[in-house]
Structure 1
Amino acid sequence: MRNRFRMTTIGVLAGLGVLVAAGPAAAHVEVSADKNRAGATDVTLTFHGEAENPSGIKSERVVLPEGIAPADVTLVKAPSGWTFQATADGFTVGGKALASGKDAEWKVKVAKLPDGETRLSFKTLETYADGEVSRWIEVQEEGKDEPDNPAPLIKLKPGPSTAPATASAAPSAAPSASAPAAPAASAAPTVTATILAEPVSDEGSSLWWLWVLIAVVLGGAALATVLIRRRSAPPAN
């Protein structure tokens, strides 16, 4: 009985060993950055592609995440004999197939990482000499289990944001720009009020009676002169 149980246990373990050996290798393509902050400049990314197929890795095609342009990426290092070529959505490094079981490692420099992004996924297609393609293109979502074919991922710290400084600069600039205009805007009502508040001078209107008096006096004097002359004149013969 004991021997039968032992043989059964050995058979189960052997069967599990065969299943594990027959399953796919847990190969990945991974990426790391020498600067782990969003918005960083002149960042070197190091990619490491694990060899899964014995025929040898022939090329690696990387799709860049949004916010990084192919023109902003340059090659730093690649396996001997491999070349770098920019594509419409990323770049490809490749050449002569590497030796069987040899991992691929390459480095590129990115001019600037996107601002405000803390998780950057680099979908990668790994091609082997026999034509097999391993597609590491599934985006790893935060808080969820790693997918079967995860895309290389780097996690960044938030970069310094300039938005608050820009937003606060506008209100502080507004008063200085409008301050001189404020007195000008209120000047017209002030001047108008001052003009309306001043009493109108009646000097001109108070002098008219004097001119009338002078005219009456002169007219009376002229009339008296005429009468006196008539009275003193000798009668006509």
Structure 2
Amino acid sequence: MTRTTARLAAALSAIALVAVAAPASAHVGVSSPDAAKEGFGKAVFRVPNESDSAATTKIVVTLPAETPFAFVSAEAKPGWTATVTKAPLDKPTTVGDYDLTEAVSTVTWTAKGDGGIPVGQFDEFAISGGPFPDADSISFSAQQTYADGEVVDWDQPQAEGEAEPEHPAPTLTLGEPTGDHHGAASTTADTEDAAATTEASDDDSSTGLGTWLGGAALLVALAALVVSLRQNRRRA
């Protein structure tokens, strides 16, 4: 192998590594400013549009049947219709201080008219309720419907120690109990808005930094390739 070929191979390898390190495609996720074990709080589902040509027109969030919520309400969103559906439980269940024979099973947001989440954008959909279970985390499932009829189910469990599945189920990490059963943080509107704003800012900063670093690494690799080819021509 000549020096030129070797340098070319090294440069191409560097470029390939940058491509591999690029961020994975976005997926439906869930976060909260105040959800805690055995408390009440807010769960915010972030939904990206991954289609190249169609808007997202419907989102269905399914709550886990094994850990039902005593109370659930859906966030009202301009341009969307929110529907809360209840279902009977297999057997009476006590959740916190509440005896349940039925519980909310799904929350559905449907876009009005020709609205929805446009291509290349995302939106957030929230529920408020509880009590959350006494567990480290809680997993939901989400179904995303596009205007062209495509349906994507986000419901694959994440196995410990394994790579993330293609369509992972949205999983929320719960805070420790506070003793007042009202969540890990203040539930005032100002606190929730501040936490949501901070989270969005952190996500945007992380994404921007990752993109900048990936682009810088690609430029370095290409520059090395150009220098190598010029040096080889001079020697020839």
Q: How many residues align?
A: 155
SS at match of 2:4: helix
Root-mean-square deviation over aligned CA pairs: 3.3
Gaps of 5+ in 1: 162-237
The structure whose RCO (Cα within 8 Å, separation 6+) is larger is 2
Partner of 1:32 in structure 2? 31
SS at match of 1:40: coil
**What is the rounded CA distance, in whole Å, between the counterparts of 1:50 and 1:83 in structure 2?**
19
Aligned positions of 1:41-190 closer than 5 A: 41=40, 43-54=41-52, 55-65=54-64, 66-69=66-69, 72-78=71-77, 80-87=78-85, 88=87, 89-95=105-111, 96-114=115-133, 116-142=134-160, 144-159=162-177
TM superposition score normalised by structure 2: 0.54
Larger-gyration structure (1/2): 1
**What is the rounded CA distance, in whole Å, between the counterparts of 2:4 and 2:159 in structure 1?**
50
Moved over 4 A (4+): 6-14, 141-145
Shift of 1:133: 2.1
Shift of 1:122: 0.9
SS at match of 1:100: coil
Partner of 1:190 in structure 2? none
Map Cα deviations across residues 126-151 of structure 1 (whole Å, 9 max, x no partner): 12222222221012345654333211
Q: Is the 8 A contact 2:144 2:153 kept in 1?
A: yes
Shift of 1:57: 1.5
Identity of matched residues, %? 30
Letter of the 1:99 counterpart:
P
Aligned positions of 1:221-236 closer than 5 A: none
Gaps of 5+ in 2: 88-104, 180-236
TM superposition score normalised by structure 1: 0.54
**What is the rounded CA distance, in whole Å, between the counterparts of 2:61 and 2:31 in structure 1?**
14
Map Cα deviations across residues 70-116 of structure 1 (whole Å, 9 max, x no partner): x83212243x31111123421111212322111021111114223x2
**What is the rounded CA distance, in whole Å, between the counterparts of 1:25 and 1:102 in structure 2?**
16
Letter of the 1:100 counterpart:
V
Q: Flag the structure with higher strand content.
A: 2
**What is the rounded CA distance, in whole Å, between the counterparts of 2:162 and 2:7 in structure 1?**
40
Q: Flag the structure with higher helix content.
A: 1
